[in-house]
């Protein structure tokens, strides 16, 4: 869908029973309920324009290691990885190994899919699906993102961690430090970023960097047994800014995109996932990307992401690459 035909935040049509700001029905077509939300903004023209970001042929992978979040958080299981030696199998004389892995898709770099989160006030998921029915059919499964060709467009990095360093803003990623729209606008201005509809917004907070630099004792204290992490402020101003810029998706290196504890009234998960069908990326590795952006003095790039082709999936590793 061409973003010029989308309503502004203030003009979003009312959704019966829901708060203002939900986009149920906005992306529907020919009487069929939409399944991919704001990814509809990634039109062929948007992707063609994004390819102009490829200038030097350098690429940066954005997946944090699957083994990184090594302690259970919020009761979620961690990675289990076993190697299978084919030479121990009766009747096989191959020099070969297989992998067998299991993991919770929320315990590493991820896209939150549209089955992952429903609106706390209505109990409904994107486009009005009920909790008990959303998994009965094919509604909102992550495979719909694969069917549309994955997630491809222009990525934009707002590097809040570097901005804070430059401006002597003291905070810990493992705290309820809230990032405001005013600050995001300042970062964009300093980096000469002009947003375009369909941009995939990345926000670096420094969460994974902190995790990589600290030991088990600190990780247990501030991650496993804590619930306070820096991120976007949950408020109407943030929602209006995100919607009116018509981002296709948003991701961060933190554990939730938004500040935790979340703001009940303006919880971003409620609006972005359940209200707009906007993918939310969490725990992305943005460290090498940050350094490459600084080196090139540009914070936009071509971005590709190939989520798992998992019918009925709730979330997926992003398998994301930034290309300069």
Phi then psi dihedrals of residue 4, to 5 deg: -65, -20
Q: Closest by alpha carbon to 305, among 315, 317, 313, 293?
A: 317
The pLDDT tens digits for 111-142 are 999 999 999 999 999 999 999 998 888 899 99
Mean pLDDT over residues 190-215, rounded? 97
Domain that holds residue 132: 3-323
Mean pLDDT over residues 186-203, rounded? 98
DSSP 274: I
With beta carbons less than 8 A apart as the criterion, state whether 250 and 203 touch. Answer: yes
Domain count, the chain: 1
Helices then strands (H, E): number in the chain? 9, 15
Range from 77-91, 230-244, 279-293, 299-313 carrying the lowest mean pLDDT: 77-91
Residue 267 pLDDT class (50, 70, 90 cuts): very high
Instruction: Reply yes or no on whether the pLDDT at 92 is more than 90.
Output: no
Query: How many other C-beta atoms lie within 10 A of the C-beta of residue 59?
Result: 15
Phi then psi dihedrals of residue 69, to 5 deg: -80, 80
Return the pLDDT at 63: 97
Instruction: Reply yes or no on whether the pLDDT at 308 is more than 80.
Output: yes
The pLDDT tens digits for 81-90 are 999 999 998 9
DSSP 221: I
Mean pLDDT over residues 151-172, rounded? 97
Return the pLDDT at 75: 77
Question: What is the number of alpha carbons within 13 Å of residue 51 lying toward its C-beta?
Answer: 5
Coil/strand/helix, residue 309: coil
Find the helix or strand (DSSP H, E) in which 44 lies: helix 44-50
Residue 101 pLDDT class (50, 70, 90 cuts): very high
Find the helix or strand (DSSP H, E) in which 155 lies: strand 151-159
Length of the chain in terms of residues written: 324
Beta strands in 160-225 (DSSP E): 178-179, 200-204
Report the alpha-carbon distance of residue 275 to residue 262 in Å, rounded.
16
Distances (CA, A) of 40 to 67, 199, 283: 33, 12, 24
Strand partners, 82: 100
Return the pLDDT at 24: 97
More confident residue, 272 or 136: 272
Mean pLDDT over residues 195-219, rounded? 97
**Domain with 253 in it: what CATH number?**
3.50.30.50
Residue 70 pLDDT class (50, 70, 90 cuts): confident
DSSP 39: G
Phi then psi dihedrals of residue 99, to 5 deg: -105, 145
With vertex at residue 271, the alpha carbon angle to CA 185 and CA 293, rounded to the nearest 5 degrees, is 35
Return the pLDDT at 225: 87
Residue 102 pLDDT class (50, 70, 90 cuts): very high
Report the alpha-carbon distance of residue 85 to residue 52 in Å, rounded.
46
Q: Closest by alpha carbon to 262, among 218, 293, 220, 232?
A: 232
For the entire predicted model, the pTM comes to 0.95
Q: Closest by alpha carbon to 11, among 275, 236, 240?
A: 240
Express as a percent the part of the chain with pLDDT over 70: 100
Return the pLDDT at 19: 93
Average pLDDT, the chain: 95
With beta carbons less than 8 A apart as the criterion, state whether 114 and 13 touch. Answer: no
Instruction: Reply yes or no on whether the pLDDT at 74 is more than 80.
Output: no
Return the pLDDT at 137: 86
> Which residues have a Cβ under 8 Å from the Cβ of 11 and sit 6 or more positions away?
none
Beta strands in 44-148 (DSSP E): 59-61, 80-85, 97-102, 110-112, 124-125, 129-130
Question: What is the number of alpha carbons within 13 Å of residue 84 lying toward its C-beta?
Answer: 9
More confident residue, 2 or 253: 253
Instruction: Reply yes or no on whether the pLDDT at 226 is more than 90.
Output: no
Instruction: Reply yes or no on whether the pLDDT at 146 is more than 80.
Output: yes
């Amino acid at each position: 869908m061409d973003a010029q035909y989308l309503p502004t935040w203030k003009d979003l049509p009312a959704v019966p029973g829901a708060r203002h700001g939900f986009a149920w029905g906005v992306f529907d077509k020919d009487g069929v309920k939409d399944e991919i939300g704001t990814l509809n903004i990634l039109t062929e023209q948007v992707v063609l324009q994004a390819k102009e970001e490829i200038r030097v042929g350098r690429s940066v992978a954005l997946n944090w290691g699957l083994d990184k979040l090594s302690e259970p958080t919020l009761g979620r299981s961690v990675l289990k990885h076993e190697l299978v030696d084919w030479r121990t199998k009766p009747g096989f004389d191959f020099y070969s190994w297989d992998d067998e892995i299991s993991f919770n898709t929320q315990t590493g770099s991820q896209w939150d899919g549209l089955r992952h989160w429903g609106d706390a006030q209505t109990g409904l998921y994107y486009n009005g699906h009920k909790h008990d029915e959303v998994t009965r059919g094919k509604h909102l499964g992550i495979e719909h993102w694969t069917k549309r060709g994955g997630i491809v467009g222009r990525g934009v990095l707002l590097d809040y961690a570097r901005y804070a360093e430059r401006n002597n803003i003291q905070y810990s990623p493992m705290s309820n430090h809230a990032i405001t729209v005013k600050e995001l606008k300042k970062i964009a201005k300093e980096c000469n970023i002009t947003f375009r509809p369909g941009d995939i917004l990345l926000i670096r907070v420094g969460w994974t960097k902190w995790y990589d630099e600290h030991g088990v004792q600190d990780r247990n204290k501030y991650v496993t047994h804590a619930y306070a992490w820096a991120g976007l402020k949950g408020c109407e101003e943030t929602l209006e800014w995100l919607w009116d810029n018509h981002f296709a998706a948003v991701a961060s290196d933190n554990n939730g995109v938004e500040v935790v504890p979340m703001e009940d009234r303006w919880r971003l998960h409620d609006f972005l996932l359940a209200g707009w069908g906007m993918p939310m990326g969490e725990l992305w590795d943005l460290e090498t990307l940050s350094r490459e952006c600084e080196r090139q003095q540009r914070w936009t790039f071509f971005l590709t992401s190939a989520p798992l082709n998992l019918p009925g999936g709730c979330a997926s590793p992003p398998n994301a690459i930034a290309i300069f």
